[in-house]
Amino acid sequence: MSGGKVVVITGPTATGKSKLGVLLARDIGGEIVSADSMQIYKYMDIGTAKPTSEEMGGVPHHMLDCVSPFEAYSVSRYVEDAAKCCEDILRRGRTPVIVGGTGLYIESLISGRDFCAAPEDRALREALGREYDEAGGEAMLQRLAAYDPDRAQKLHPNDKKRVVRALEIALAGGSISEHDRRTREAEPRFDAKYIVLGYQNRQDLYDRIDARVDGMLEAGLIGEVQSLLDMGLTPAHTAMQAIGYKEICGALEGKMTLPEAVETVKRESRRYAKRQISWCGRYTGALRIDFEKTPDFEKARRISTDFLAGAV
């Protein structure tokens, strides 16, 4: 494992990952590397729960405010940028503390997934997109099955983006399934110790999520979304597809009322948390800290420090 040892703090939204990350980083001589697919965008602070300077507590943070919200930031680009951050931190004798809830970013970074094995062909992708629109998802999945049956079985016919991308790779002579198999068999880039945060009672998590959304509104989320629209962003931009931004944008454009938008944000945030919990189930050997109604971060800090004592 060429990249050395790192710590990963993950879990569903609103579980205090950022706060524990700062506490641990102070204890172990670490620096935070964000693994959040929306905190990488500039000008998107409130709706992404981006840590403030005060919340960073003097601990260096990386992979925040990296790109303009007009850009479409990919997981392959994240892996390239975040790996450089981690390697630099390690060279300086410190410990990367990877903090966030975007599971695909974390898994791809730790595993060292090689995205170069999947070349892009924009013209072919556009042609396949048009074919998808005309023939439908089921027909395109059947076509994909002739090249990559394993991948075709895992995809939903309504998932146009992934179906088209898989076909693009297949027609170029590749296979996502084969690429993923090679990635799993390859030695991981980093030796990671995982800490997964959660709540003993799922309803307590949902209540915390709802309260967090209310707090974002009080902090000025509506104004933040309006400022992005004033900059020229549209709902078609990837950044504006983030939970919270998409719904408030819909309210500002008159597609729904503000109360409807707020309730949708809360509902979608809870659904996202469910998916994150499911994803985190794959981390065998992880330290799992499930809070009661009120998070005890000092206790979590002690438990985490003990867990990492022999790892960092």
- Per-residue tokens: 132: 């998808």
pLDDT in tens, 157-186: 888 888 998 888 888 776 666 656 665 666
pLDDT in tens, 97-139: 999 999 989 999 999 876 545 556 778 888 899 999 999 999 9
What is the residue whose two structure tokens read 């070349």?
119
- Per-residue tokens: 298: 């000092």
Q: Are 107 and 100 in contact (CB under 8 A)?
A: no
Among residues 93, 28, 35, 42, which one has the least CA distance to residue 62?
35
User: Could you tell me the residue ranges of all domains in the chain?
Assistant: 5-114+186-308, 116-185
What residue type is assigned to position 5 of the chain? K
- Tell me what percent of the residues of the chain surpass a pLDDT of 90: 73
Number of C-beta neighbours around residue 259 at 10 A: 9
Cα–Cα distance, 215 to 196 (Å, whole number): 24
Quickly name the fold that domain 116-185 has. Answer: Histone, subunit A (1.10.20)
Of 26-40, 122-136, 266-280, the one with minimum mean pLDDT is 122-136
| pLDDT average, residue stretch 296-305 | 96
> Hey, what's the torsion of the CAs at 309, 37, 70, 117, to 10 degrees?
90
Model pLDDT, residue 184: 61
Class of domain 5-114+186-308: alpha beta
